Amino acid sequence: MIAAITRLSLSDFRNHAAASLAAAPGLVVITGENGAGKTNILEAISLLVPGRGLRGAALSDAARHAGPGGWSVAATLATAAGEVQIGTGTQASAPDRRLVRINGANASAASLGEWLALVWLTPAMDRLFSDSAGARRRFLDRLVLALHPGHGARVNRYDAAMRERSRLLAGDTPADPVWLAGLEADMASHGAAIADARADVVMALAGQAAAAQDGPFARPLIKLSGDDAEDLAARLAKGRARDAAAGRALEGPHRADLIVTHAAKAMPAAHCSTGEQKALLIAIVLAHAALVSQRHGRPPILLLDEIAAHLDEARRAALFTALAAMGVQAWLTGTDPDLFASLSGTRLQLHDGDVLPG
């Protein structure tokens, strides 16, 4: 179920001892000086879905310096079924153990994906296409999770089985072949579901992009490579000696990569300029938001950190127009309020740790 955030509360999270803010379903603009905690608010929101958030940091790292050791983030969601209360956090006694509550009841982190869908862009992602295959795979899996809420749990189970298999293969004594076969069967089962979900989203995104007009964000050609899960259990069993020597599994969906090409130039995204790569990335995110809206009746929430400062005037105007037309709830941060002067919606300003109307 896709929702919008109407209220957000942070306690001892990063530099926020206590912060509470209200938001409308449309665009939410947060401005303030560097170091004021704008990105920290987006990170807090990003932890309201499965995964490690937009920074990928350890849970204990999110606790406020000189604070009690634990932290919490809570939100009120507006959904088609009414208001829903969700929250997550840690306790000082177990700083790396995540706690989740939904409508006051204990829940799993995986269940958060049933209520909220998020996609984010940060300045660190500007060179995603020149980054590692793992970085692109994590980006793709975030897109997949918005359309297949169980995807994150399947990726976690696949990774757990793969790690255990690698540990057994690296042991000083021969591993039990029956136990190895069981782990390989788990990898094959979860891997097939992972590959199917990724293929569904990539194919749908490619269709969205193909139907789009060439514009300020360029038109990306999108495909997936190395996500073959067919007969994976048999291939893993055959490759045990090879994988033992390599110290890792050399076949499976964990080797997948997202391949993006600038359509008009027929150029791999990694060879494009930084501005073109940013434009291609935004085009993919907008196509994904439209796809989620088609399938679920509402786009995901977008977290766009320092997005305006890294776009030229034409692309910035085009982005704002697209967001407004889509009806998406997007949280945008920046240091310069003038860059958002044309936008209507919720405006907030961070100053000396306080969240003020912008």
Q: Which residues contact 109 (CB under 8 A, 6 or more apart)?
A: 50, 88, 98, 100
Q: At residue 261, does pLDDT exceed 80?
A: yes
The residue behind tokens 């969601």 is 77
- Per-residue pLDDT tens over the stretch 12-47: 999 999 999 999 989 999 999 999 999 999 999 999
Q: Which residues contact 45 (CB under 8 A, 6 or more apart)?
A: 5, 8, 73, 75, 118, 301, 303, 331
Question: Residue 2: its pLDDT value, please?
Answer: 67
Q: How far is CA 292 from CA 117, 163, 177, 211, 228, in A?
A: 9, 32, 43, 16, 25
Question: Residue 352: its pLDDT value, please?
Answer: 75
Q: Taking Cα atoms as reference points, which of 36, 18, 23, 20 lies closest to residue 350?
A: 36
Q: Which CATH architecture has domain 1-117+300-358?
A: 3-Layer(aba) Sandwich (3.40)
Listed by start position, the domains of the chain span 1-117+300-358
Question: Residue 22: its pLDDT value, please?
Answer: 95
Q: What is the pTM of this model?
A: 0.92
pLDDT, average across residues 235-259? 96
In whole angstroms, what is the distance from residue 191 CA to residue 254 CA?
A: 8
- Per-residue pLDDT tens over the stretch 267-315: 999 999 988 999 999 999 999 999 999 998 888 999 999 998 778 888 9
For 299-319, letters b (16+ CB in 10 Å) and e give bbbbbbbbbbebbeeebbebb
Output the average pLDDT for the chain: 93
